[in-house]
Copies of this chain bind each other. A is one copy, B any other.
């Protein structure tokens, strides 16, 4: 179950989010506050965009823990970006710790992260793989449920070469969960699956907070939106109320700074979409659409129906 952060705003050193806040992601790699198990030491990854060099993000990942990785420290202090994802991993039981299983996963311009677990994933894995076109099937390099979910998302999103909107990405996120839940239901499983996903193409970001069991609490998720995010020499980090042109969005599994006013809790079953102009839209997911799996009425839209049968 993992911890992650997404940043979108003016260019800042990665370290300003990874190391400097009082509850930085690096701190969460061994002392996460909002998980029963505070440890996220099974590798990490960071992906960032530098549009002036490439439309695809740069991904740096390692199977060693984030807290002691010198390369991560160096890179975080020397690389600035206006859009980056970072993730510290707590491997699900039986899952291998390897670079191939580290988030964020990348495909073309897209980055993908997951905090959660698809219950009894192995029971839907074949069905999922069978639904994928060759290029997405062969993209999969690891063994995680998360990377397989990414392939489903990309398939549902359609042509990954075109520029899509934040709403389309959010929509595809919800549909991905609906699809995974349908397969899970068909397998006769009932345990809760946790689906906190985040995805970006370097321009827009979408994220979701969801658990399949309405009586369970989904994994925590917050966001913060304000002026430029700044860390002082003394390590105090905050969003300043300054120039509107320096708008900033941070989405994170936990609040990074102590000032609670800076952070909004994403409500359960909500999807968050950040468009290219950094406007944020938070919406209740159409849970009925997902939930309908329970009584067997498949809500699959025509264009996606082929996935189930091909």
Contacts and interface: CB of A to CB of B under 8 A. Distances in A.
Interface of A: 13, 30, 39, 41-42, 50, 53-54, 56-65, 67-68, 70-71, 74-75, 77-80, 91, 96-100, 122, 125-126, 129-130, 137-138, 141, 143
Contacts of A126: 129-130, 137
B77 A58 contact: yes
Nearest to A137: B126
Contacts of A62: 71
Give how many copies assemble into the complex: 4
A64 B61 contact: no
A155 to B, nearest CB: 15
B54 A60 contact: no
Nearest to A68: B97
A115 B134 CA distance: 27
A42 B68 contact: yes
Contact of A122 (B50, B91, B130, B138): B138
Looking at A59, A78, A122, A130, the one whose CB has the most chain B CB atoms below 10 A away is: A78
A95 to B, nearest CB: 9
A98 B64 CA distance: 11
25 contacts: A13-B53, A30-B41, A41-B65, A50-B78, A53-B78, A53-B79, A54-B78, A56-B78, A58-B77, A58-B78, A59-B71, A60-B74, A61-B71, A63-B64, A65-B65, A68-B91, A68-B97, A71-B71, A75-B75, A79-B79, A98-B98, A98-B100, A100-B143, A126-B129, A129-B129
A109 to B, nearest CB: 13
A96 B100 contact: yes
A91 B69 CA distance: 12
Nearest to A80: B53
A258 to B, nearest CB: 21
A6 to B, nearest CB: 18
